[in-house]
Every structure is written in C-alpha cells, then in structure tokens.
C-alpha cells in the first residue's frame, strides 16, 4: 500500500481525487497540505486524513508519506515537484505539468538525476473510452485516420478556482486547463505526434488575461489533421470523433467519468457497431498505477516526459495565439 500526501488539497481533490482513492486497491491518502490550515484541518477531518500541513515542504518531510500528488495551482508545480524530488519522494504532478516547457524540462531532469519517479496526471490515459478508441483505431476499424475532433467545454464563470483567470498563476485559459487533456488523448489514441500547431482564441470581460474560448489545430506527423475546441463559456461536453478513410469512430462526452458512455462506429452513413464503456474507475486506476510503479512494478504509463511533450505543444499554441502564425514543434 502506497501512502500519498496531497499537496494543495482543494476543489479537485474533493471532487475527483478522494472519490478515486476510495476505489483504489493499493493507494491511500495519509496527509495533505493547504495554506489555510483551518480549511486543511476541516478537510482532513472529513476524509479521515491523519496529517495536515501548511506547505509542501512540511508534507514531504512526513515519514508516513511514500509519494506526493501535486495539485497546487500551476505556477507552484515546479517548486513543489522539485521539493518532493529533493526529498526522494515519487511525485505525480497534475496537468499541465508546468508553466512552460523549460519548467517541465527542469522537473524531468531533476527527477532523472535523483532517480525519483515522476509522473503527470493525464487522467484520460486511464479511461476505458480512451483505451477503446486507441485499440479500435489500431485494429483498422476506420482505416487511416484523416481527421480528428476533440472538444472540452464547461461553464467557468464564477468558478471557485479564480486563479484560472490569472495567466501568472494558470499559464493560460482553457487551452492549458482542458485543452491539454484533448491534446494528450489525441497523441495517445493516434499513437502519433503533432508537428504543426495553430490557434485562435476569444477573450471577454470576465476572462482576465487568458482566453475564454479557443480552437487549436494540429497537423500530425502521419498526416492526420485535428481540431481541439475548448471553452469556459459553453455547456459541459467532451465529444470525440476520429474520421478515417473507411469509417468514423465517435462518442458524445467521450471522456466523462460521471456516467457510462457509448462509442459508435459509422460506415457509409450508418452506425454499424456500438459499445458502452465506463470511466468510473479512472482516478483509482491512475493512483494505483503510480503506486505500482513506485513499488518497482510496471512503469507508470504517463512519465514526466509526456507532460514535457504536451507542454511543448501548449507553448506552440500560445505562441500562435499571440502572433497569429503556424508554429512548428518538430524541432523540440
């Protein structure tokens, strides 16, 4: 059993992480850190977490903490990951891994030098729907993937994570927050890497200095063209569609963990096959996979290097958003 300490215990921990840990087989939470100790103690009492700290520095020194899950605001990831690495603690960092690719490089290199396990929490990699998309496309169900479309939108006005609208803390708007999920899922499903990126965005009076909505286009090495549409001003939805030369694989709310979803295979305008899958165990699978790797088992499937690769793409998207030009990623 791997004992986790959650650094930056907040809304994400309450809504997603703790329900996931309750279903995990080889992982449990024994400590948390939160700057507001009163709120931290209240959360610890609610979930039966024995150790409460005001900082990541204190948390990583706890001898009962075997691994650290960093869920602090994005601008804190670099410092918190390096703190855990320096303490020799395996660390799983929430996405996006850093504020830019250089921060990710520093984390990866520090972990490699120290011989410490570093992973990035790209939760879609642990969803049954993502796996089935990848398997069916690899099996040739739609032939050669020609086009792909991944969306992630949610109504973010008045969101409790107010720091999302401060670029100095978040690193960006929905491209960084949820677009990274779509980009990582496409990379995994297609088993391919984007080589060119462009982006257009829209901001409003409530979005601070980040985008409120955006479309990112990706040209993959083997020729697939993909669009990623993200917004914090739209109804919650996560559809995914891959169009091949022989058929189409699609799902509404493809990445939802709330309820079972249906994958459909279309050919010649007809749905010729469908299957129902559930992503309910995704968060449990993620921490148990990390726990297994920390114990010397099978390698964690989303190492820090994957977070670094995703960040290179995010950086290119934001350069395009600022300058209105196509950006290359192949030289990274």
Contact 142, 132 (CB under 8 A): no
In the chain, the number of structural domains is 2
pLDDT above 90: residue 158? no
Q: Do 178 and 320 have their domain in common?
A: yes
Structural domain including 211 reads: 124-282+312-328
Position 299 scores a pLDDT of 98
For 54-65, what is the mean pLDDT?
98
Mark whether 76 and 186 lie in a shared domain: no
- Where residue 163 falls among pLDDT bands split at 50, 70, 90? confident
* Cα 82-316-204 angle, rounded to 5 deg: 95
Q: Which two tokens stand for residue 90?
A: 């395996």
The reply to whether 55 and 155 lie within a common domain is no
In this structure, what CATH number is given to the domain that contains residue 165?
A: 3.30.360.10
Domain end (from 82, 105, 123): 123
Encode burial over 7-41: b for 16+ CB neighbours within 10 A, e otherwise. Answer: bbbbeebeebbbebbeebebbbbbbbbbeeeeebe
Q: What is the pLDDT of residue 330?
A: 61
Burial 155-174 (b: 16+ CB within 10 A, else e): ebeeeeeebbbebebbbbbb
Look at residue 52 in the predicted model and tell me its pLDDT: 98
- Compute the mean pLDDT over every residue in the chain, rounded to the nearest whole number: 96
Q: Which of 100, 123, 146 is the last residue of a domain?
A: 123
Question: The pTM is what?
Answer: 0.95
Question: What distance in Å separates the CA atoms of residue 57 and residue 36, rounded to the nearest whole number?
Answer: 15
CATH number for 29 = 3.40.50.720
**Backbone torsions φ then ψ of 9, nearest 5 degrees:** -70, 110
Residues in Cβ contact with 317 at an 8 Å cutoff, skipping those fewer than 6 apart: 175, 179, 197, 198, 199, 214, 216, 327
**Does the pLDDT value for residue 81 go beyond 60?**
yes
Q: Is 134 among the domain residues?
A: yes
Q: What is the pLDDT of residue 70?
A: 98
- Give pLDDT, residue 329: 84
> Which residues, in sequence order, are CB contacts of 221 under 8 Å at separation 6+?
192, 193, 194, 195, 330
Q: How, if at all, do strands 2-7 and 67-70 pair? A: parallel
Is the model's pLDDT at 326 over the cut of 80?
no
If pLDDT is split at 50, 70 and 90, which confidence band does 165 have?
Answer: confident
pLDDT for res 332: 43
Confidence tier at 159 by pLDDT (50, 70, 90): low
**Residue 157: what pLDDT?**
78
Predicted confidence at residue 274, as pLDDT, reads: 97
- Strands across the sheet with 51-53, in order? 51-53, 27-33, 2-7, 67-70, 91-94, 118-121
Sign of torsion over alpha carbons 132, 133, 135, 140: positive
Residues 140 and 108 occupy one common structural domain: no
Confidence at residue 171, expressed as pLDDT on a 0 to 100 scale: 95
pLDDT in tens, 196-247: 999 999 999 888 899 999 999 999 999 999 999 999 999 999 999 999 999 9
Confidence of residue 314 (pLDDT cuts 50, 70, 90): very high
292 or 331: which leads in pLDDT: 292
Identify the H or E element spanning 41.
Answer: helix 37-47
Residues 200 and 90 both lie in one domain:
no
Tens-digit pLDDT profile for residues 197-206: 999 999 998 8
Is residue 22 domain-shared with residue 149, that is, in the same domain?
A: no
pLDDT value of residue 328: 84
Identify whether residues 242 and 319 lie together within a single domain. Answer: yes
**8 Å CB contact between 11 and 160:** yes
pLDDT digits (tens, 9 = 90+) for 289-311: 999 999 999 999 999 999 999 99
**Mind listing the pLDDT tens digit for each residue in 82-124?**
999 999 999 999 999 999 999 999 999 999 999 999 999 999 9
């Amino acid at each position: 059993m791997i004992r986790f300490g959650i650094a930056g215990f907040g809304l994400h921990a309450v809504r997603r992480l703790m329900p996931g840990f309750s279903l995990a087989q080889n992982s449990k939470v024994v400590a948390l850190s939160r700057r507001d100790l009163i709120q931290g103690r209240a959360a610890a009492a609610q979930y039966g977490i024995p150790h409460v700290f005001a900082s990541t520095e204190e948390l990583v020194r706890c001898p009962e903490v075997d691994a650290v899950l960093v869920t602090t605001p994005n601008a804190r990831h670099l410092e918190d990951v390096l703190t855990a690495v320096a303490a020799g603690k395996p660390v799983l960092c929430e996405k996006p891994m850093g504020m830019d690719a250089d921060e990710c490089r520093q984390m990866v290199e520090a972990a490699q030098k120290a011989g410490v396990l570093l992973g990035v929490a790209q939760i879609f990699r642990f969803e049954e729907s993502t796996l089935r998309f990848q398997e069916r496309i690899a099996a040739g169900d739609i032939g050669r993937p020609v086009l792909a479309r991944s969306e992630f939108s949610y109504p973010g006005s008045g969101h409790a994570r107010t720091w999302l609208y401060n670029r100095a803390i978040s690193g960006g708007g929905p491209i960084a927050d949820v677009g990274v999920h779509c980009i990582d899922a496409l990379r995994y499903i297609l088993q391919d890497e984007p080589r060119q990126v462009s982006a257009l965005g829209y901001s409003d009076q409530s979005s601070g200095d980040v985008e409120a909505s955006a479309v990112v286009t990706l040209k993959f090495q083997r020729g697939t063209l993909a669009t990623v549409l993200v917004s914090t001003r739209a109804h919650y939805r996560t559809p995914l569609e891959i169009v091949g030369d022989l058929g189409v694989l699609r799902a509404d709310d493809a990445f939802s963990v709330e309820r079972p979803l249906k994958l459909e295979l279309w050919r010649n305008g007809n749905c010729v096959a469908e299957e129902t899958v559930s992503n309910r165990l995704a968060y449990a699978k993620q921490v148990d996979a990390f726990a297994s790797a920390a114990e010397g088992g099978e390698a964690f499937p989303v190492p820090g290097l994957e977070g670094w690769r995703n960040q290179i793409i995010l950086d290119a998207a934001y350069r395009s958003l600022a300058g209105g030009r196509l950006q290359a990623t192949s030289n990274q």
